[in-house]
Amino acid sequence: MALIDLSKREVHCKIVYYGPGRCGKTTNLLYIYNSMNSNAKGKLLTIETKGDRTLFFDLLPLNLGKINGFDIRIQLYTVPGQAIYEATRKLVLKGVDGLVFVADSLRVRRNKNIESLKDLMHNLKEYNLDIHTMPLVIQYNKRDLTQSPIPTLTVEELEQDLNRELGAQTYEAAATKGIGVFETLKDISKKTVRYVATKHLLNPKKQMEKAL
Amino acid sequence: MKNNDNLPEPEVFTSKIEETIDDLFKPAKQIEIDPLTQEVKEVATEQQKVESKSEISLELAIEEPLTEEGKEVQQEPEIEVTGSKSTAVNKDEIVQPEQERQALEADREEEPQIELELVEEEPAILEVEADENKQSDEVLLTLQRLREDIYTIEWEISRKELLDSVSELQKIIELPEIKSDSIALTILSLSAEVLKNASKAPNEMKSNAPSILKRAIEAVITLRSGASLANDEIETVKQHLHSLLIPKARKSPKAPIPPQTEPEAHQKFENTWPELESTISTDTSKEPEWNEEANKLLLSHLKELQKQVNRIIPLEQLLLKTSGMEKLYKFQKNVRQDLEKEIERLSRFFFKDLDINLPKPERTYKHEDYESEIASNRCPWSQLFTLSINGLEIGIPVEEVVYNAQPPWLSKSFIKKTNILPLSKLKPWPWSKLSKLFKNRLAKVTESELTKMKFPVVKRLGNTELTVAANFYVIVLFNGNKGAVLRTQESPIMINVPQNAKCQQATDGSFAGEIEINGNKISIVTAESVNR
Amino acid sequence: MADLVLTGPALEKARSQINDALIEAGVHTVLLIDQAGNVVASCGQNRKDLDVTSLAALAAANFGATSQMAKLIGEDDFSLLFHKGKRDSIHFAKVGNELILVTIFGDEVSLGLVRLRVAELTDSIEKIFGQGN
């Protein structure tokens, strides 16, 4: 749910990085945070856990500054990927405006990818959201492992499993090395802000009446 | 509306945003993240490394690793906020917090000043304190403060809070305005006692005490601010406050409670009043009026209980006499007996042999005798299928009839002759389902079970031979255990057995008994009796 | 979940009430946030050491988590939360269906006072946003 403060002229959007456990969601955010050297980023918030798995969420606020008098803020969230954290994932998804689905290229994670996508669609439904109409980008992460002896899925297989019906923009990535990370981020940010801004600035009076 | 002015064109707006995104969202340096440790390694120049180290954040308690000492001096409330040892965030280059905060929050600080000009109306504020200040009633102010203390105590009990509220209360009670207000004085005095006791032993404070105290203070505030309060509410508040004090009241020797001299009572009530057992002592420090109040309350409670018992008794008798109400009668009886036990227990413990004059019931019933009298006279059959069969008037309990119809054409001649009838013979067509044909005890039996069942055909009842002509009806009886088949010339008629019916049961012979309704005698046939 | 669109007068009214009811009583900071973790209004001390963005996100998540727990045990909701610290404490209260009022206060303000004031505030703020402009 975007927050549009017409008095303060601010637009807040929420982008959630979703995907099965250990697929690289937090790594995406870590990379963005640590490699971006600008005032555009806020503090990366990760909740202390024993180990390196996300327990609740990670948050990275980004600020585009003032554009046409409006302050555009984008908040990047990740969700915990393990199956047992379903309730938490649902919570973090609340108010989401744009999605990045991070898929794991490891062959052994094939089913987990598919389950996680189904889980996402299900959770969105509970908020009356439809993945087909929302800004969405799919990232095929860990592509660097195709060079290693570890069995990986081909892009075709990933497309077949995850993108056959959605037809979303996809990016191949290796988040630990930063490959594909910013491409994903830029695309989803643009899509999300476009979506939100168009919705609310197209016919503001009507929108405000409706909202109130 | 002013807010609608100067809204950008969406297309222009979004393309500008996209430009900014392209501009800002890019890496300033090369780094790598270790997939196992999540450690961030720079693939950067030496100079950049030096620069980054000097920019390490001085950000506060939130960012500090939470050591034991760190937790002690933490300025924030106890929330674990950030990535700490497990992520590399703290240790590496982090943007200047000051700059970042300004970037993110600068506008928020600026805006309020501008916005204030737009406000045209006075905000409507429900400010109790502002209102109160206008009033000259100091008492009300003090009561307000006391209320806040009680609200604090409700969530956070500490000796300090309790002692503070006790002294507040004592001050209020001394005020002439309160001394002259008997209701407020009573309530506040009782509250003071409760808080005094609680402050001596906070962990023994009853869990409902804070909410009772809250209610009490709200009541006094309502009264003092000139509003009216129902008498019921005042009485309830007083009673509740008393209930918080009652166990203490009974400790006094002035109460008519037998202390250690009645071991029986101790034994009996040990489980239910453990704290009393250990604390009954010759405590002479209590003032007399608490005991009187407590006793009065108790007595009225016991009388009330007895009144309810007396109201139950006639209903119970009515249920006893009404056939079909056996379950409800038992239920009602249990309710009455439980209440009587409670009355007995409480009156013996608190009042021993004193005659406390509990209200008597209108008629005294010897319940057990009455019960057996009723039972022996009561007819076990409330509804019967009656018919005439070979000159005999018979009745069959409705609940035993599982089938009552003309037999299927295909089996007619078989049923006429046979001594044993397999239930499968009652199928109208070979492909019909048996399970659809039966009711009562055979209604839920499976098809395969039913196919195996066969019952004897009754050829004789008492001294009467049963014969059957061309068109007959078949009635199948089943009591869960035994079954029987009757062939009759007429279809039976259902009747309700009236209460005044005379009833006799028999334990042998082919009849289960006989009833007489308005002079007509009906012999009762059951699956049990015909199989004897 | 509908997008939340705020207007100047409504926000100002809310801020003013918060200031009068809580800040004047000695409360450090009050945040009015939405359930997605965005700060709608912020009143009180402008503490440099307070990361308001993170606090709002966590507060919303915290509230959301306890709300889910409430549902699991058969409650409709927990509309209140309170965390006691050694020096500062935080009180959360739901405002309508969309907003959460977060109050940070120290020793000098009694919890009872905060509870009472917040109870009144949540009603009046709910009315402000319910009425629209």
Give domain C28-131's CATH superfamily: Dynein light chain 2a, cytoplasmic (3.30.450.30)
Residue A7, SS3 per DSSP: coil
Residue pair B326/B274 in contact by the 8 Å Cβ criterion: no
Is A26 part of the contact surface with chain B (CB cutoff 8 Å)? yes
Domain that holds residue A34: 3-211
Query: Under a CB-based contact definition with an 8 Å cutoff, are residues A52 and A72 in contact?
Result: no
Separation in Å, CA B430 to CA B64, B345, B405, B421, B427: 86, 69, 18, 16, 6
A181 vs B350, higher pLDDT: A181
Asked whether the beta carbons of residue B62 and residue C49 sit closer than 8 angstroms, the reply is yes
CB-closest option in A8, A91, A128 to C65: A91
User: Which candidate, B144, B130, B212, places its Cα nearest to that of B172?
Assistant: B144
**Residue B437 per-residue DSSP state:** T
Which pLDDT value is given to residue B64?
Answer: 38
Provide the number of structural domains found in chain A. Answer: 1
d(CA A189, nearest CA chain C) in Å: 18
Cα separation, B433 vs B245, in Å, equals 71
Interface residue A71 vs chain C (CB under 8 A): no
Q: Tens of pLDDT along C50-64?
A: 878 778 878 888 887
Mean pLDDT lowest among A97-106, B20-29, B120-129:
B120-129
pLDDT in tens, chain A (212 residues): 666 666 667 888 999 999 998 899 999 999 999 998 778 888 888 765 555 666 788 889 998 888 888 888 899 999 988 777 787 888 889 889 999 999 999 999 999 999 999 999 999 999 999 999 999 999 999 999 998 999 999 999 999 999 999 999 999 999 999 999 999 999 999 999 888 877 666 555 444 443 44
**Is A209 an 8 Å CB contact of chain B?**
no
Residue B476 confidence (pLDDT) above 90: yes
Q: Give A47's contacts in chain C (Cβ within 8 Å).
A: 58
C-alpha triplet B390, B392, B393: angle, nearest 5°:
130
* pLDDT number for residue A151: 93
**Which residue in C has a C-alpha nearest to residue A201's C-alpha?**
C5
What is the number of other CB atoms lying within 10 angstroms of the CB of residue A85?
19
Going across the sheet that includes B401-405, the strands are B401-405, B473-478, B483-488
Question: Do the bridges between strand C99-105 and strand A169-172 make them parallel or antiparallel, or are there none, so unpaired?
Answer: unpaired
Percent above pLDDT 90 for chain B: 13
Residue, of B99 and A188, whose pLDDT is higher: A188
Which is higher by pLDDT, B479 or A8? B479
Is residue B31 a contact partner of residue A35, using CB atoms and an 8 Å limit?
yes
**pLDDT value, residue A101:** 96
**Chain C residues within 8 A of A3 when measuring between CB atoms:** 3-4, 6, 34, 36, 38, 40
Phi-psi region for residue A44, left (φ > 0), alpha (ψ -120 to 50) or beta?
Answer: beta
Chain C contact for B289 (CB, 8 A cutoff): no
Q: Closest-CA residue in chain B for A59?
A: B82
- The pLDDT mean for chain B works out to 74
Locus of tokens 């980008």: A137
Instruction: Compare all CA atoms of chain B with the CA of C25 and give the residue at the minimum distance.
Output: B129
**Average pLDDT score over chain C:** 83
Against chain A, the chains showing at least 3 CB pairs within 8 Å are: B, C
Least CB-CB distance to B77: which of C39, C89, C120?
C89
Phi, psi angles (nearest 5°) of residue B160: -60, -50
Contacts of A127 in chain C (CB under 8 A): 1
Residues with Cβ within 8 Å of B63's Cβ and at least 6 positions away in sequence, in order, are: B57, B82, B90
CA distance C90 to chain B (A): 7
B399 Cα distance to chain centroid = 37
Q: What mean pLDDT comes out for the span B277-306?
A: 65
Chain A residue closest to B30 (CA)? A35
pLDDT score for B94:
39
C-alpha dihedral, B330 to B334 to B340 to B344, nearest 10°:
130
Is residue C7 within 8 Å of C131, Cβ to Cβ?
no
Q: Cβ of A134 under 8 Å from any chain C Cβ? A: no
List the one residue out of C26, C31, C18 whose CA is nearest residue C108: C26
Q: For residues B20 and A74, is the Cβ–Cβ distance under 8 A?
A: no
From A35's Cα to the closest Cα of chain C, the distance in A is 21
Q: Check residue A201 and give its pLDDT.
A: 62
B112 touches chain C (CB under 8 A): yes
From the list C8, C49, C82, the residue facing B60 with the nearest CB is C49
Q: How far apart are CA B237 and CA B391, in angstroms?
A: 76
Burial class (CB in 10 A: 0-12, 13-18, 19+), B444: exposed
Place B409 in a pLDDT band, splitting at 50, 70 and 90: confident
Q: Which residue of C has its CA nearest to A88?
A: C65
- pLDDT confidence bin for B284, thresholds 50/70/90: very low
CA-CA distance, A70 to A68, in Å (whole number)? 5
For C42, the closest of B74, B108, B149 (CB atoms) is B108
Nearest-CA distance from A66 to chain B in Å?
Answer: 9
DSSP A174: B
Option in A27, A43, A178 nearest B100 (CB): A43
| Mean pLDDT, residues B453-475 | 88
Between C77 and A48, the more confident residue is: C77
Judged against a pLDDT cut of 80, whether residue B247 lies above it is answered with no
Please name the chains neighbouring B, where neighbouring means 3+ C-beta pairs under 8 angstroms: A, C
Is C17 in contact with B82 (Cβ distance < 8 A)?
no
Q: Express each pLDDT in C12-24 by its tens digit.
A: 889 999 999 999 9
Tell me if B151 sits within 8 A of C115, measured CB to CB: yes
Give the three-class secondary structure for B494: strand
Q: Does B160 touch chain C (CB under 8 A)?
A: no
Residue A14 maps to which CATH number? 3.40.50.300
Residues of chain B neighbouring A43 (CB-CB closer than 8 A): 59, 82, 94-95, 97, 100
A178: left (phi over 0), alpha (psi -120 to 50) or beta: left
CA closest to C88 among chain B residues: B77
Q: What is the Cα–Cα distance from B415 to B459, expressed in whole angstroms?
A: 12
DSSP per position, A130-158? -GGGS-EEEEEE-GGGGGSSS-B--HHHH
B50 and chain C: CB distance < 8 Å anywhere?
Answer: no
Across B350-354, B391-395, B459-463, B486-490, least confident range: B350-354
Interface contact A6-C40, CB threshold 8 A: no
Phi, psi of A59 (to 5 degrees): -135, 130
What sign results for the dihedral spanned by CA atoms C50, C53, C59, C65? negative
- As a whole number of angstroms, the distance between CA B523 and CA B513 comes to 6
Model pLDDT for residues B42-97, shown as the tens digit of each residue: 885 544 555 544 444 333 333 334 444 444 443 434 333 343 333 333 333 434 44
Q: Kindly report the nearest CA distance between residue A176 and chain B, in angstroms.
A: 5
- Give me the pLDDT at residue C53, please: 78
Nearest CA in chain A to B21: A186
Assess B81–C contact: CB distance below 8 Å, yes or no.
yes
pLDDT recorded at residue B376: 59
Cβ-defined contact of C38 to A12 (cutoff 8 Å)? yes
Dihedral sign (CA B318, B319, B321, B323): positive
Tell me if B263 sits within 8 A of B212, measured CB to CB: no
Residues C118 and C103 sit within 8 Å (Cβ to Cβ): yes
Distance of residue C68 Cα from the nearest chain B Cα, in angstroms: 19
The reply to whether B148 touches chain C by the CB within 8 Å rule is yes
Percentage above 70 pLDDT, chain C: 91
Classify residue B385 as left (phi > 0), alpha (psi -120 to 50) or beta. Answer: beta
Contact state of A94 with C64 under an 8 Å Cβ cutoff: yes
CB B153 within 8 A of CB B161: yes
Chains that touch C (3 or more CB pairs under 8 A): A, B
> In angstroms, what separates the C-alpha of C88 from chain B's closest C-alpha?
5
What is the nearest CA distance from A158 to chain C, expressed in angstroms?
31
Residues in chain C within 8 Å Cβ distance of A197 = none
How does pLDDT run across B172-217, given as a tens digit for each residue? 888 888 888 888 899 999 999 999 888 888 777 787 888 899 999 9
In the Cβ-directed half-sphere of C52, how many Cα atoms lie within 13 Å? 27
**Range in B6-10, B70-74, C80-84, C124-128 the model is least confident about:** B70-74
Contacts of A57 in chain C (CB under 8 A): 57, 61
Report the pLDDT value the prediction gives residue C6, as an integer from 0 to 100: 67
CA dihedral in degrees (C64, C65, C70, C76; nearest 10)?
10
